[in-house]
Chains A and B, each alone.
Chain A
């Protein structure tokens, strides 16, 4: 057993963090819901994402990628969550992985890797799983995307305007008529490959939630150190300390679950990896909301306003929790499993 990031992965984490912070800083959070930027990245931001190789690294080499591990990709996703990056990196990475799993032609995957073609993943109307048909389905993390592909048909669908969504850092858009893109020739993957795709997706969402809750906790700790009441920093009061300590426990447990889920996608058969990822996503979903709620609580009154960032993380926690299935969904699947397989 060897359960930490390698020196290379830690260096990658740092470089991802730098760019993620920079991308987040270019995004205007506004003074209220009426006045924030849409999550669509500007050309300059998007070209920095493309130049960083984030869209390419996870794809196999023959498809224009670097064949990075899922552990590497979750390192990236955690930093994107930490800085609440609005650019639709996860959406693009998941859409590309889905098409790679469906054996899309290398030329198309290369276009995705180079950011020339911008796709978003299509989910069912409940945002739980990748969509099997275009009707009522929704593209997630779709800011600036040209289309979403339904693999069963190979048809790329144009996307409508963003729907109202609790999280201003990500766009959800309905699938419309076939876009101008030519139909894509795809071949359905086997059961294990589909399970692996599910595990891949849940692992990335788990890592995004991990970053989100870590950021909220860090900000709450900072606030508790500096905000004074009764002549002392509120972080010196036991009631506040205990709330933050519980938050730290949940963050570290989620980190362990996230590492395990990501490792499992790289190392275990698809069905086992999917189970590990369900466990991680279920735990991360409820923990992220709990930690972000605690952070809002520690911020007090200002946490309830657009003057503080706390609500942004709480929003991202709730939407990250919902997308690809919340804890109730995954625990429901686990409850129906034969317990001998646990």
Chain B
């Protein structure tokens, strides 16, 4: 049992801190997804991190990654949050799916661009008629000689507006039902027939879009894994997306908590005894989440376990939404009156129990796949 850094981890952490001291200031402000300028600044930050060697830590070195254990992703996210830096690029789930399933040729062709942040990727899963029931999706990729022809519509696609490529889950085997008929393709977003329309989030963030595919031609060489393997790859990917490593959740929550405690300590925010106790309760939650995520990362050892990812996401959601309730209450009337920051943050916390599979879907996964309860 050792929750502390081993010498290599400590060395990595020290190097990262030194790099942040020298480079963070020029990137600290103005990132986000609220405007074209903030998106450009966000992508510039991602490229700077990649150039410094901090993207794709747990991905193979042969394709532009760094071949490190998963705990390094946790150290990265923790240090970024502690330093007040913007988050790392949310691409771990996509990169692992490609690295673990794609052909050598495809990996060599696309992973360096993804991990170098030279190219931006999005994930084309949800559809208007296929949200929680993902296996019911209807976008088709029809085999036609050495290419697939894609038709259909994706929705809630983060970053689609400025993406170069899309990892697309589509129906390639019309004769096979639901899960069995799906495949995963790498689609060039600049292809003829791809059309994006922005969707503004309730919080004001402009990272969502719906994507229309109208006879889009995709080379057969862009198939990830084999035909019919799409569902398996998608579940592998979701396990990473739901898991703790890739999203930098814990660090971000730690920062929100630290700011709230600082506000209370300095008296900038008036908190009665009841609120202070609730803040302490949230502090306990965030700290437990931190140790839980450390345990998940240390135990994952390169693979990913889909159901364990669901446990982590359920815990994270519970902790995050409770924290934001306390933070909202600490804000008092300024939660709803004046600058929209606190309310927008709160709205975004409500998304946590929806994206990547709703809280209800995650509970079903845990109940049926971890606890072995019977399906109805």
* A contact set with B: CB distance below 8 Å: 1-6, 69, 71, 221, 224-225, 232-233, 235-238, 240-242, 244-246, 248-249, 252-257, 259-260, 262-264, 266-267, 279-280, 282-283, 327-328, 330-332, 334-335, 338-340, 342
Contact = CB atoms under 8 A, between A and B. Distances in A.
A339 B264 contact: yes
Given A242-B360, A244-B373, A248-B370, A257 B1 contact: no
Interface size, B (range)? 35 or more
B252 to A, nearest CB: 16
Contacts of A279: 283-284, 287-288
Contact of B277 (A4, A71, A232, A328): A328
A249 B314 contact: yes
Nearest to B75: A1
20 contacts: A1-B6, A2-B1, A3-B2, A3-B3, A3-B299, A69-B1, A221-B371, A224-B373, A232-B376, A235-B367, A245-B362, A252-B315, A253-B289, A253-B292, A257-B287, A282-B281, A283-B285, A283-B288, A339-B261, A342-B258
Given A238-B376, A259-B295, A339 B262 contact: yes
B292 A256 contact: yes
B295 A256 contact: yes
Contacts of A266: 1
A248 B373 contact: no
A233 B373 CA distance: 9
B251 to A, nearest CB: 14
B1 A259 contact: yes
Given A241-B363, A332-B277, A280 B2 contact: no
B110 interface: no
Contacts of B370: 245, 248
Interface in B62-82: 71
A249 B294 contact: no
A262 B2 CA distance: 10
B299 A246 contact: no
B280 to A, nearest CB: 4
B291 interface: yes
A236 B376 contact: yes
B4 A267 contact: yes
A249 B318 contact: yes
B291 A241 contact: no
Contacts of A331: 277, 280-281, 283-284
Interface of B: 1-6, 9, 71, 257-258, 261-262, 264-265, 276-277, 279-281, 283-285, 287-289, 291-292, 294-295, 297-299, 311, 314-315, 318, 360, 362-364, 366-368, 370-376
Contacts of B5: 1
Given A241-B364, A259-B295, A339-B258, A248 B371 contact: yes
Nearest to A330: B284
Contacts, number: 158
Which residue, of B1, B2, B284, B363, has the highest number of chain A Cβ atoms within 10 A? Answer: B1
Nearest to B74: A1
A335 B289 CA distance: 18
Given A256-B295, A257-B288, 11 more contacts: A3-B1, A221-B371, A232-B374, A233-B374, A238-B360, A256-B294, A259-B1, A263-B1, A267-B2, A279-B287, A335-B280
A233 B2 CA distance: 42
A245 B376 contact: no
Contacts of B2: 1-3, 263, 267
A249 B311 CA distance: 6
A237 B371 contact: no
Given A237-B376, A283-B284, A283-B285, A342 B3 contact: no
Contacts of B279: 335
Given A4-B299, A259-B1, A225 B373 contact: yes
A104 B232 CA distance: 61
Nearest to B257: A342
Given A245-B314, A248-B311, A283-B288, A1 B261 contact: no
8 closest A-B pairs (Cβ-Cβ)? A339-B261, A241-B367, A335-B280, A256-B292, A245-B363, A245-B366, A260-B291, A331-B280
B363 A334 contact: no
A245 B362 CA distance: 9
A298 B217 CA distance: 53
Contacts of B3: 1, 3, 259-260, 263-264, 267
A246 B314 CA distance: 8
B374 A235 contact: yes
A245 B294 contact: no
B283 A334 contact: yes
Given A245-B314, A282-B284, A5 B277 contact: no
Contacts of A233: 373-374
Given A1-B297, A253-B292, A71 B284 contact: no
A338 B284 contact: no
A327 B281 contact: yes
Given A1-B4, A3-B3, A3-B295, A244 B280 contact: no
A252 B311 CA distance: 8
Contact of A245 (B280, B283, B297, B364): B364
A340 B283 CA distance: 12
